[in-house]
Amino acid sequence: MGTSETAGALNFTIEHRSVFFSGKLTLDQVDRQGKYILKELRKFPRDSLTINLDKLEGIDSSGVAFLEHIRRELSPKRIDVHIETGREDIRNVLKTFTIPEAVMPLSHEPLGFFERIGENVYHFFKSNFREYVFLMADIFVWTFTDIFEKKQHRKGEFVNQAVLIGVNAIPIVGLISFLIGLVLALQSAAQLRQFGANIFIVDLVVIAMTREMGPLLTAIMIAGRSGSAIASEVATMKVTEEVDALKTMALNPVRFIVIPKMHASICTLPFLTILANLFGIVGGMVIARFYLDIAFPVFFSRMVTVLFLKDLATGIFKSLIFSGIIVQTGAFYGFRVTGGAEGVGRFTTSAVVTSIFLVILADSIIGLMFY
């Protein structure tokens, strides 16, 4: 019994209680013939098998692992496997690549569904929630106190952050708001026309944009755009030990990195929100003009009638809260990053998702309060 003879190919012959391997006991040969050889050896009728390696042309770590595999596979059949060789070179390879004892599985067993839920909930309350509140308290205090601390104002930093967070976002916020205003009016127009209530399109667009859609849309876009940038910037600084470097220079990383962003965000988000309101209303105005034949002056005069300062103030108040949430959440995830470069991506994603969730949650709560 044995495999066919080709140059370098692994061959084996079984004689009495011994199997003689020849050729190369290397990865490619084991990969190609291992299963067949094992199948043949399983038919071995005796209780002891000696594997002779003297005729081998070469052996590598896969060959050594294969011998161990044979031993393990035949042990349930109560066949004792012995390796035999008089060659020193082969003995050396066997010694070098000795298979260590399996102490534990090589990879982590995935947790069960309920275990995962339990662990996440426990982790959330034990660590995330607590630290989030602590960071919020720090940021809240320093946002006010650092306005008066001259040393905390690095030259140009506020303007730089305001441009990054606010000014650079103007085109996208404006465009999206215009389109949303347009779609909102378009979808409502068909319904209102059926009841002859065309003029109420103004009420709908103006109030929805100023109280709800303007602040919310702006916040969601800034969370995606600047929230992710803040999280990844802080996370990268943490991974590259810049945060540690700041600490060793007796600088507080939150005050140094986060507070300028918070100031910039608080100052720019309300303006972005006002801009979003304007563009949204213009979008609605276009539909009202061309779909419901409401002239621009009529739209204006109705808008002045239905729009109260409270509506605008609610939107601005929301935007202030949202700006705090976005910067705080980005910084929170950035400071908690673990796992090197891969962790930066993971935590940035979490920062954006959490920011958007918290923004919508805050919007719901404020909406209920000022209804």
Query: Under the rule (CB under 8 A), what is the footprint of another protein?
Result: 26-27, 30-31, 34-35, 58, 60-62, 64-66, 68-69, 72, 89, 92-93, 96-100, 102, 104-108, 338-343
Q: At closest approach, how far in Å is the CB of 37 from another protein? A: 12
Q: At closest approach, how far in Å is the CB of 92 from another protein? A: 5
Q: At closest approach, how far in Å is the CB of 31 from another protein? A: 5
Q: Which is nearer to another protein, 99 or 175 (CB)?
A: 99
Report in angstroms the alpha-carbon separations of 26 from 41, 91, 110, 252. Answer: 18, 15, 33, 58
Please say whether the beta carbons of 254 and 357 come within 8 A. Answer: no
Q: At closest approach, how far in Å is the CB of 52 from another protein? A: 19
Q: Which is nearer to another protein, 188 or 232 (CB)?
A: 232
Cα–Cα distance, 329 to 326 (Å, whole number): 5
Q: Which is nearer to another protein, 89 or 115 (CB)?
A: 89
Q: At closest approach, how far in Å is the CB of 56 from another protein? A: 13
Alpha carbon distance, N-terminus to C-terminus of the chain? 88
Cα–Cα distance, 140 to 258 (Å, whole number): 11
Q: Show the tokens assigned to 27.
A: 């990865």
Q: Which is nearer to another protein, 34 or 284 (CB)?
A: 34
Please say whether the beta carbons of 323 and 222 come within 8 A. Answer: yes
Q: Which is nearer to another protein, 15 or 244 (CB)?
A: 244
Q: Which is nearer to another protein, 100 or 196 (CB)?
A: 100
> What strands, in cross-sheet order, belong to the sheet with 18-25?
11-15, 18-25, 48-59, 80-84
Report in angstroms the alpha-carbon separations of 240 from 30, 135, 331, 349. Answer: 44, 21, 16, 19
Residue 55 phi/psi, 5-degree rounding, is -90, 5
Torsion, CA 324, CA 230, CA 223, CA 318, rounded to 10? 10
Cα–Cα distance, 316 to 310 (Å, whole number): 10
Q: At closest approach, how far in Å is the CB of 47 from another protein? A: 23
Q: Show the tokens assigned to 55.
A: 């005729």
Q: At closest approach, how far in Å is the CB of 277 from another protein? A: 43
Q: At closest approach, how far in Å is the CB of 184 from another protein? A: 42
Beta bridge partners of 14: 19
Q: Which is nearer to another protein, 8 or 339 (CB)?
A: 339
Q: Which is nearer to another protein, 149 or 244 (CB)?
A: 244
Q: Which is nearer to another protein, 102 or 249 (CB)?
A: 102
Rg for the chain, CA atoms, rounded: 35
Q: At closest approach, how far in Å is the CB of 63 from another protein? A: 9
SS3 call for 21:
strand
